Amino acid sequence: MNKSKGKACMCEVAANRSVLLKRLDAVLDEYVSKPGGLIPVLQIAQGIFGYLPEDVLKQICLRMNKSYSEVAGVVSFYSFFSTTKRGRYLVRVCMGTACYVRGGKQVLDAIKQHLKIDVGETTPDGKFTLETARCFGACGLAPVMMVNDVVHQRVKAARVQDILDQYRQGEKGKRAARKGWK
């Protein structure tokens, strides 16, 4: 990164942002006239940016001829959507009935302790974001936690640190899967 007068050059960031906005425009071109296109556009936009920043939501509103309150209402209704940056690893703990009864709360507490964050927060290093969900549809495997798209079943609070360490070390759960924690 070039430095001028003690400030980092933001040229690369701006160029990358421009590329992402062009990708969003292409998506909007495809969905703008499709009935029910808002949710797919939001899903794809979140995939492009990693979250849904305000300027992206405004662009979606303008192009789809929808009010900001309508779009923001959809975003806030569905827990899948996020308007804040998330960590590299999104850790979700199921708090549905089966998971809760089988120790989901203890798993959540152990994750909070090990990551030193609360639900809805991201670790200072940007690696982990912690969220809860109502049900993953894996009640027979309770308690369940997910890290990105990897489902960890029958999780015990005592094993939480081992699971998180696999991601901290960048192995994305490979050893956890081999040891049967996945």
Residues 6+ apart with CB under 8 A from 152: 144, 145, 146, 163, 173, 176, 181, 182
Q: What is the pLDDT of residues 42-96, one digit of tens each?
A: 999 998 998 999 999 999 999 999 999 999 999 999 878 989 888 999 999 999 9
Band of residue 179 on the pLDDT scale cut at 50, 70, 90: very low
Same domain for 144 and 109, yes or no, is: yes
The CATH number given to whatever domain includes residue 120 is: 3.40.30.10
For residue 27, give Cα distances in angstroms to 37, 49, 69, 78, 128. Answer: 10, 13, 21, 20, 28
**Residues 141, 96: Cα–Cα separation, whole Å:** 12
Number of domains the chain is built from: 2
156 within a domain of the structure (yes/no): yes
**pLDDT grade, residue 180 (50/70/90)?**
very low
Q: Which of the 8 DSSP states describes residue 122?
A: B
Give per-residue pLDDT as tens, 125-169: 989 999 999 888 899 999 999 998 899 999 999 999 999 999 998
Which among 77, 103, 131 is the end of a domain?
A: 77
Cross-strand pairs, 180: none
2 in a domain, yes or no? no
Instruction: Quote the domain boundaries for residue 39.
Output: 9-77
- Final residue before a domain boundary, out of 44, 77, 110: 77
* pLDDT single digits (tens) 82-117: 898 889 999 999 999 999 999 999 999 999 999 999
Domain co-membership, 125 together with 169:
yes
* 4 lies in some domain: no
Q: What is the structure's pLDDT at 5? A: 42
Answer yes or no: is 83 within a domain: no
